[in-house]
């Protein structure tokens, strides 16, 4: 008998191969696009060995696991860098500025030129792009998440944006300015340092100016909060009389509502936020429920009679069932679970 080198493989090597094949078949079947010829090949593969059947069943069960689906639902998706979007006016502005400097006699020519270029944009947009290239580094985009969804977006300068659920913001990334408008929701900013190009965030009640730092902006029904995890930011409140801008450094929180409040964050960090932890003192229960809805997408029906109840503590909003159960042990509320709805009402 002749034994050739390489004929035998270790059990681990064979198991890895079987698991890879099983993963392929499970993915194909779950895709809903499996052809009849593939189904025949799958049955033949399963019949070859009990190990094939076992690994296939294990992976198929994992694929359909409710816990896995819930974990994947909470995992953030990644967005590409904001796309370059410029209008015809953006491209013509330098040219029209030059014409305007010549004087009024050039106005008729300018109007004719604009009308001609508008027609050219409809007929031959590629030619227009060649004649008037868009300014380098100018980017505009809108990022939106649904309740229960999270999003990670990377800007060209290395800045990272982490959007919580039910959040909407606009990004304007330009040659001399980086600007974000937070329309609603919560977003964590990890800003790349750039002395020559400031980074501004406009929120409903305040404007935040930074050069390079990490901070979280949360827009709530009654206030906007800024948690600073690294560096220093300047916060300019809007709608509070003659209130001046304030500087907040690492470990600080600024709340802008009917008044401006500066306080310490304590041990809270960006990692806590990303993992769903909330540390609050005297937080209205309605705001805590809103955080749960945004982060998890769970339907929480809150009785208006307890919406303004102040609660304090450390809550993990990514585990709403456990968080609300523990809350009911301390505060005068009761929690009821009905199918996909969590009801919170007075005791």
Pairing of strands 178-184, 224-230: unpaired
Per-residue pLDDT reduced to its tens digit, 204-253: 899 999 867 899 999 988 889 999 998 999 999 886 767 788 899 888 99
Per-residue pLDDT reduced to its tens digit, 266-304: 777 788 888 888 888 888 999 999 999 999 888 999 999
Q: Which of 71-80, 97-106, 234-243 has the highest mean pLDDT?
A: 234-243
Instruction: Say whether both 53 and 15 belong to one domain.
Output: yes
Instruction: Say whether both 44 and 111 belong to one domain.
Output: no
Give how many domains the chain has, as a whole number.
4
Quick check: 40 pLDDT over 50? yes
Please indicate, yes or no, if residue 229 is contained in any of the structural domains.
yes
Per-residue pLDDT reduced to its tens digit, 303-338: 999 999 999 988 899 999 999 999 999 999 999 998
Quick check: 113 pLDDT over 70? no
Range of the domain at 304: 276-346
Please indicate, yes or no, if residue 3 is contained in any of the structural domains.
no
Instruction: Say whether both 197 and 233 belong to one domain.
Output: yes
Please indicate, yes or no, if residue 255 is contained in any of the structural domains.
yes
CATH number at residue 216: 2.60.120.1440
Instruction: Say whether both 101 and 149 belong to one domain.
Output: no
What's this model's pTM, rounded to 2 decimal places? Answer: 0.62
Please indicate, yes or no, if residue 4 is contained in any of the structural domains.
no
Instruction: Say whether both 111 and 203 belong to one domain.
Output: no
Please indicate, yes or no, if residue 177 is contained in any of the structural domains.
yes
Please indicate, yes or no, if residue 73 is contained in any of the structural domains.
no
240 or 127: which carries more pLDDT confidence?
Answer: 240
Instruction: Say whether both 56 and 173 belong to one domain.
Output: no
Instruction: Say whether both 147 and 103 belong to one domain.
Output: no
Instruction: Say whether both 112 and 152 belong to one domain.
Output: no
């Amino acid at each position: 008998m002749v034994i050739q080198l390489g004929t035998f493989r270790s059990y681990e090597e064979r198991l890895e191969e079987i698991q890879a094949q099983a993963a392929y078949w499970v993915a194909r079947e779950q895709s809903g696009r499996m052809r009849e010829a593939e189904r025949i090949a799958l049955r033949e593969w399963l019949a070859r060995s009990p190990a094939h059947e076992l690994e296939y069943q294990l992976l198929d069960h994992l694929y359909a696991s409710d816990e896995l689906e819930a974990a994947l639902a909470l995992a953030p998706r990644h967005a590409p860098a904001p796309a370059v979007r410029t209008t015809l006016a953006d491209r013509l502005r330098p040219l029209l500025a030059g014409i305007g400097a010549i004087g009024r006699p050039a106005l008729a020519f300018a109007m004719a030129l604009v009308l001609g270029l508008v027609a050219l944009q409809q007929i031959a947009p590629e030619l227009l792009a060649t004649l008037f290239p868009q300014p380098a580094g100018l980017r505009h985009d809108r990022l939106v998440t649904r309740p229960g969804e999270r999003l990670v977006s990377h800007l060209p300068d290395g800045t990272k944006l982490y959007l919580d659920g039910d959040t909407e913001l606009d990004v304007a990334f330009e040659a001399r300015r980086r600007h974000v408008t937070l329309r609603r929701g919560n977003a964590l900013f990890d800003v790349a340092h750039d002395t020559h190009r400031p980074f501004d965030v406009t929120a409903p009640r305040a404007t935040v100016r930074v050069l390079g730092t990490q901070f979280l902006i949360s827009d709530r029904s009654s206030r906007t909060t800024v948690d600073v995890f690294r560096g220093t930011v300047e916060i300019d409140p809007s709608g509070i009389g003659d209130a001046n801008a304030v500087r907040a450094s690492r470990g600080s929180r600024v709340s802008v509502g009917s008044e401006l409040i500066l306080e310490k964050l304590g041990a809270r960090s960006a990692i806590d936020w990303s993992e769903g932890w909330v540390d609050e003192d005297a937080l209205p229960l309605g705001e805590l429920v809103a955080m749960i809805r945004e982060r998890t997408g769970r339907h929480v029906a809150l009785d208006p009679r307890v919406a303004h109840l102040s609660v304090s503590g450390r809550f993990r909003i990514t585990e709403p069932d456990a968080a609300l159960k523990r809350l009911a042990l301390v505060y005068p509320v009761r929690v009821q679970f009905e199918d996909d709805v969590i009801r919170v009402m007075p005791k």
